[in-house]
Amino acid sequence: MRKLLLIPVFLGLLWVGYWFIGALVLDRALTGWIDARGREGWVANYDDVAVTGFPLRFETVVRDVELADPATGVAWTAPDFRFTAKSARPNEITAIWPAQQTVATPLERIEITSDRMQGRIGFAPNTALELRSSDIGLETIALTSTLGWSASLESGVLRTSRSDEAADAHDILFEASGLRLAETVRGRLDPARMLSERIDGLRLQAWVDFDAPWDRFAIEEGRPQITAIRIDHMRATWGQLDLRAAGAVTVAPDGTPEGEVIVKATNWSEMLAVAEAAGAIPPSVRSGLERGLGFLARLSGPSETLDVPLTFRGGLVTLGPIPLGPAPRIVLR
């Protein structure tokens, strides 16, 4: 009987040892990673790292953290950054960003405030920490720039998961509501203020393939680049405008897309009016576009709904038979 009683005591001591060794390894790995960035020329500062939560969790807090990548000039500072994980599953964490943080680039400094910025993130159980899944929730996000612009988001969610279709591909879902654009952006898109102040809803469901995995080396050495995008479903609602899209493109090493996306636009004539007011379409061209697109709309269904391909080919982009100009480059910095 005495030997049987010793079994739970022995198991308890093993768990205590596991937790304290795990906490020590976590502390040293995190501080070691930050210190290594400093030796590589980064600005990499922090005031303190604390690991608590015994015995069931690892609860880690990094206080007064500052990181700046010399290659891109992008810097991030925050009063604290927290993440927790169950002791039995340390590779699945809950990350909690502070209510106020700052992102700086060589051109501007952006203050970010939020009521909630929190997510569950799953990594592969290895030293590379390859991203397997994420589920990040956003509530009442506000951005204020030193260049004078501001933007906000009422709520949003970003979910990703490793895809079985390719080694480095991810399935991505992004949903947002109550998006208020920066005044400079809105001024370019809608200078006549024909649309509402906010974009009511945005939903994107896509599959994206990369040329390398998203792991710790993606931060240390360079961002993986997109090689293919498949939009399974995209919908944006802005006032009376309703825009939907689906299709696929491949992306060349220089960032040039090649492929086709089918665009379905409701109240498309209002979009032309907005584009004309924004200066994207000269008044002399609008009537011809309206006649041509109206003909295409009547071929595909109701005249107020336009169903037309957006084609990327040879470095150019066309909407149906209408050339729009050079295709945008898709490059992650």
Kindly state the DSSP code that residue 315 receives in the 8-state scheme.
T
pTM for this entry: 0.83
Total domains present in the chain: 2
Helix orientation angle between 268-277 and 283-300, rounded to the nearest 10 degrees: 160
Sign of the alpha-carbon torsion through 207, 209, 215, 218: negative
Q: Does one domain contain both 221 and 306?
A: yes
**Domain annotation covers residue 176:** yes
* Residue 205 main-chain phi, psi, to 5 deg: -120, 115
Q: C-alpha dihedral over 259, 260, 261, 264, to 10 degrees?
A: 170
Q: Which domain holds residue 53?
A: 1-90
137 Cα distance to chain centroid: 12
Per-residue pLDDT of the chain (333 residues; tens, 9 = 90+): 555 555 665 555 676 676 778 778 788 888 888 888 888 889 999 999 999 988 889 999 999 999 998 888 899 999 999 999 998 888 999 999 999 999 999 999 999 999 999 999 999 988 889 999 999 999 999 999 999 989 999 999 999 999 999 999 999 999 999 999 887 777 666 666 767 778 889 999 999 999 999 998 898 888 899 999 999 999 998 877 888 999 999 999 999 999 999 988 876 666 666 666 655 566 665 666 666 666 555 555 555 677 888 899 999 988 777 787 888 899 987
**Domain annotation covers residue 308:** yes
Examine the fold and report which residue of 43, 74, 90 is the final residue of a domain before the chain moves on: 90
Q: Are 223 and 242 in contact (CB under 8 A)?
A: no
Examine the fold and report which residue of 90, 108, 141 is the final residue of a domain before the chain moves on: 90
Q: Does one domain contain both 12 and 142?
A: no
Give the span between the Cα atoms of 172 and 233, in whole angstroms. Answer: 11
Examine the fold and report which residue of 37, 59, 90 is the final residue of a domain before the chain moves on: 90
